[in-house]
Amino acid sequence: MVDRMLWLVFIILILWAIAMHFIWKDNTHNPYKVNPNSVALSFDDGPTPPYTSEILSILQQNDVYATFFVLGKNAERYPELVLKAYKEGNAIACHGVNHLDLTTATKEQVESEVLGCKKIIEKIIGKSPICYRPAFNKITPTVQKYIEEQGMVIIKVEIDSTDWKHTDANSIVNTTLSLIAPQSEITMHDGTSESENRSTTVKALPILIQKIKKMGLDVSRICYP
């Protein structure tokens, strides 16, 4: 009888340990950090047709997700692209309304840029964004504090793919690969206006994803609660 009780206690302890393992594992999810053994992929300045749609197709074909730091003015103009990206499992975050330099903006301009973008995203996807990337990767402590008070964390550019200046896909890929490490965050672009040609980004993207996977790394997203 004692032996049976001991076995029962032993089994209960094992089951409890297993349960705690999975609970702990779930609670370690941090939406603001890149998963271990992964690199995060993000796109700034969009959405802009046809490039955002083409990027979304490439992400789906390669079974990966990304984070889109959208401009409010573009999201308002192409809400269907923002909603499509979100419904396909990608994260949607703020990049301002008009790509304004927040280090030289007035208090009123900062509020309009930050809250304007946040409200536009909320209207489209029905949820509040949890991350904000400042235009030109520039911000002051005062503005950062204000943005954080609005419930968003600042996510700056870590690895610049330089797709905004290169016209050759291989240059974009090689520049990016030379800088990545596990838990890096890569920034590419799918905007800012229809006059900008992002076809080189579209061409580089599938090559980059496949090369990252060959390095034994996954491609993931940040700012996805």
What is the set of active-site residues? 44, 189
Burial of 181 (0-12, 13-18, 19+ CB in 10 A): exposed
For Cα atoms 220, 221, 224, give the angle at the middle one, nearest 5 degrees: 140
CA R_g for the chain: 21
CA 99 to CA 132: how far, in whole Å?
12
Residue in this structure with the two tokens 């301009």, named with its chain if needed: 109
CA 97 to CA 115: how far, in whole Å?
9
Contact 112, 97 (CB under 8 A): yes
Question: Strand ranges (DSSP E) for the chain?
Answer: 38-44, 67-70, 91-94, 131-132, 153-154, 159-160, 185-189, 218-220
Q: Say how many residues make up the chain.
A: 225
CA 20 to CA 62: how far, in whole Å?
34
Residue in this structure with the two tokens 């291989």, named with its chain if needed: 170
